[in-house]
Amino acid sequence: MKNNQKTVVIGLSGGVDSAVAALLLKKKGYKVIAAFMKNFSDTKNPLTGDCSYLEEKKMAQRVASKLKIPFVVFDFEKEYKNLVMDQMYKDYQKGLTPNPDISCNTIIKFPLFWEEAKKLGADYIAMGHYARIKKVGKEFQLFAGKDKSKDQSYFLYELSQQDLSHTLFPIGNLTKEEVRKTAKSLNFPNWNKKSTRGICFVGKVNMISFLSKKIKKSPGKVITPEGKTIGTHDGVQYYTIGQKVGPHLGIEIKKEFPQEKYYIADKLKNNKLVVAPNGHPSLKKQEVKLINFHLINQKERVPKKLKARIRHLGILHSGNFEKENQGYKFNFDRPLEAIAPGQSLVLYSKNRVIGGGQIAK
């Protein structure tokens, strides 16, 4: 069966990446259907007061019209709020710093999208991610995107063999510059549109203001690693280990203490926030325990020596991966700062994603 007999439903977001991805699929002869995901309608444009998703939807429609491809809307808002956002709030309340972008991919963008796409006769789904999929024998492998400054493989480590088997990433071998150049040459309306930032489908928000709508403030003490009280805070649930301390976070350091640069070192169960000056040993950790661990290929024998990333586009740090009786752990070759429980540690063998897990408290 030739490509022109295959149907691909692409997630068209309104951004330039998915627009060029749709173009490339059409050029390869696929029957392309554009699907816009409506996942979150609470974010408003501060200038117009309109729901932000409506602007994105209009742009996606313009692109679909230009490419002369059908346009549909997949409404996953109920599932997104119940399965992604509600869990995010629960995790913050537990003192964790979750990554809803990863959950969004694992729960919404790939499995739910695929179920809806199949109803339209899809053979594949596609996304405008900077990542690559290769089939080696009977196994599907996930690789980082060619553009290291835009690589999105960190967010995709929870995908399964089944997910990868019917997914295409058309721009994985391109750089952002090449994507924009292609879009500009064809006069796409979004060729110079800024990349989206912040939470997946929510956008860039002030996290403390955003969280305070669901999680009440619970003022507590700010202490040093030695236990001395030096200030106050609005509630440990609002903060991330490694953050720089300041009034912008609702953290006040008493004037009688040195007004140096403090960073969040720990969040204690009794609502005390531990802060330390730059370079303090309490800011660094070497061993990380992992929960909810996932391997892209469940049958793979994972090598001990690997590299790991603790945040999107973060540096790849070498270390040793070990399986314990009750789970998994990763020992970095050198202690690292800003290791935040709730975030994900993703394992790489060169530029191939092995899998990963959530950093345990």
Domain range summary for the chain, segments of one domain joined by +: 3-128+170-185, 216-278, 284-359
Determine the pLDDT at residue 199: 63
Select which of 9, 22, 104, 340 is catalytic. Answer: 104
Select which of 22, 23, 200, 306 is catalytic. Answer: 200
Answer for the pair 319, 307: CB distance below 8 angstroms, yes or no.
yes
Q: What is the pLDDT of residues 139-187, one digit of tens each?
A: 999 999 999 999 999 999 999 999 999 999 999 999 999 999 999 999 8
DSSP label at residue 306 = E
For residues 101 and 98, what is the distance between their CA atoms, to the nearest angstrom? 9
How many CA atoms are closer than 13 Å to the CA of 172, on its beta-carbon side? 18
For residues 56 and 41, what is the distance between their CA atoms, to the nearest angstrom? 11
String of DSSP letters for 132-183: EEEEETTEEEEEE-S-TTT--GGGGTT--HHHHHTEE-TTTTS-HHHHHHHH
Q: What is the pLDDT of residues 82-93, one digit of tens each?
A: 999 999 999 999
45 pLDDT higher than 70 = no
Q: What is the pLDDT of residues 226-268, one digit of tens each?
A: 999 999 999 999 999 999 998 888 999 988 887 789 999 999 9
Tokens 């690589």 belong to which residue? 151
Cα 182 to chain centroid, rounded: 26
State the architecture of 3-128+170-185 in CATH terms.
3-Layer(aba) Sandwich (3.40)
Helix (H) or strand (E) holding 33: strand 31-38
Kindly report which listed range (69-73, 110-114, 189-193, 294-298) carries the lowest average pLDDT score.
189-193
Determine the pLDDT at residue 201: 56
The average confidence (pLDDT) of the chain is 91
361 pLDDT higher than 90 = no
State the architecture of 216-278 in CATH terms.
Roll (2.30)
- To the query of whether residue 104 is one of the catalytic residues in this protein, the response is yes
Q: What is the pLDDT of residues 297-354, one digit of tens each?
A: 988 899 999 999 999 999 999 999 999 887 899 999 999 999 999 999 999 999 999 9
Helix, strand, coil percentages for the chain (3-state, nearest 5): 30, 30, 40
Cα 18 to chain centroid, rounded: 17
Looking at domain 284-359, which of 2.40.30.10, 3.40.50.2000, 3.50.30.30, 3.40.50.300 is its CATH number?
A: 2.40.30.10
Residue 167 burial (C-beta neighbours within 10 Å; 0-12, 13-18, 19+): buried
